[in-house]
Amino acid sequence: MTSVLSHPNPARERTATRRRYLMCRPEHFAVSYTINPWMDPRMPVDRDRALEQWDTLRRTYLELGHRVDMLPPLPGLPDMVYAANGATVLDGTVLGARFRHRERRAEAAAHRSWFAAAGFQRMITPRFVNEGEGDLLVAGRPGAEVVLAGTGFRTDPRAHAEAGAVLGRPVLPLELVDPRYYHLDTALAVLDGDTVAWLPEAFAPGSRAVLADRFPDAIVADPDEAAVLGLNAVSDGRHVVLPVQAPRLAAALAERGFQPLPIDLSELLKGGGGAKCCTLEVRG
């Protein structure tokens, strides 16, 4: 494993691929309850600032040539801005979410409605709790993908086999052990077909060993930068959108041939999310 400080191999040219993303404008964003360690209802939320930061993220994707579709925000669902949690999409198949906490459960139906209206024919409502791309990350080269499947705080372990059956890909179960990293996408970022960045301390020993074996060239994030959700990043294979508060991780990415694009999403961090939480990839 390689730290964020150095890497023995020279940077290689990275290739971006055009992506399709689903996002939800934070019109109703608030922190009115606590379902993860980041959320403190006593801390004021500046919704206007959250909207500005979110719009910077959306415009960044558009400027990179990606498609951004919009999920209509619904009153009473302040966490809908974290659109990645609502589904996992691969080869045009939509595996819906089933949220653990009652405060978010209605979001699953909103996602199903959007995908139905968008013409997706195969939509599966899961039996077991899974929180979409929060805990189900697609990694690997096209046609040889694997689903990195987190559990420990939100997603039911039984949902891993269900995801593999629905999406038609092997599943690599990974156990999270630090409540700050309650979803897999807060502790690991898929950068391209071969490369991830991660925080080993967020995982159980067995899962650490599995990841180290599968991704021996992984970037290991500084714990201080992971602690501001530096790993909650979005990559198109070349450009990596990540928090501006993670400069050492950005430097490591640049050293490896990626182009880091730091963005301030500090207002949305109050709800426990960053760029990846706000971004659901719609594949095929």
**Res 120 pLDDT > 80:** yes
* Mean of per-residue pLDDT scores for the chain: 96
**Res 11 pLDDT > 50:** yes
212, β-bridge pairs: none
Identify which of 144, 140, 158, 149 has the alpha carbon closest to the alpha carbon of residue 187: 149
Average pLDDT over residues 181-204: 98
**Res 266 pLDDT > 50:** yes
Count of domains observed in the chain: 1
Phi-psi region of 78 (alpha: psi -120 to 50; beta: other; left: phi over 0): alpha
Q: What pLDDT does 132 receive?
A: 98
Cα distance from N-terminal residue to C-terminal residue, the chain = 32
- Rounded Cα distance between 143 and 156, Å, is 26
pTM of the model: 0.95
Both tokens of residue 230? Answer: 């530096």
In DSSP notation, 207-231 reads: HHHHHHHH-TTPEEPPHHHHTTTTT
Identify which of 258, 150, 283, 242 has the alpha carbon closest to the alpha carbon of residue 194: 258
User: Residue type at 242?
Assistant: L
Q: What pLDDT does 5 receive?
A: 40
Q: What pLDDT does 152 receive?
A: 98
What is the length of the chain?
284
Q: Where are the alpha helices (DSSP H) in 132-173?
A: 158-167
Cβ(193)–Cβ(171) below 8 Å: no
The CA radius of gyration of the chain, in Å to the nearest whole number, is 17
**Res 42 pLDDT > 90:** yes
- Rounded Cα distance between 53 and 13, Å, is 30
- Catalytic site residues? 183, 277
- Rounded Cα distance between 284 and 282, Å, is 7
The CA-atom distances, in angstroms, between 38 and each of 41, 180, 209, 228 are 10, 7, 28, 10
Q: What pLDDT does 44 receive?
A: 94
- Each residue's pLDDT tens digit, 154-182: 999 999 999 999 999 999 999 999 999 99
Q: What pLDDT does 8 receive?
A: 45
Q: What is the CATH number of the domain that holds 235?
A: 3.75.10.10
The percentage of the chain sitting over the pLDDT mark of 90, rounded to a whole number, equals 94
- 10 lies in which domain range? 2-281
Both tokens of residue 26? Answer: 């934070």
Q: What pLDDT does 1 receive?
A: 58
The percentage of the chain sitting over the pLDDT mark of 70, rounded to a whole number, equals 96
**Res 40 pLDDT > 70:** yes
Both tokens of residue 172? Answer: 């690599």
Phi, psi of 262, deg, nearest 5: -70, 135
Q: How does strand 234-235 pair with strand 239-243?
A: antiparallel
Cβ(131)–Cβ(85) below 8 Å: yes
User: Residue type at 124?
Assistant: I
- Each residue's pLDDT tens digit, 12-35: 889 999 999 999 999 999 999 999
Q: What pLDDT does 284 receive?
A: 87
How crowded is residue 77: how many other Cβ atoms within 10 Å of its Cβ? 17
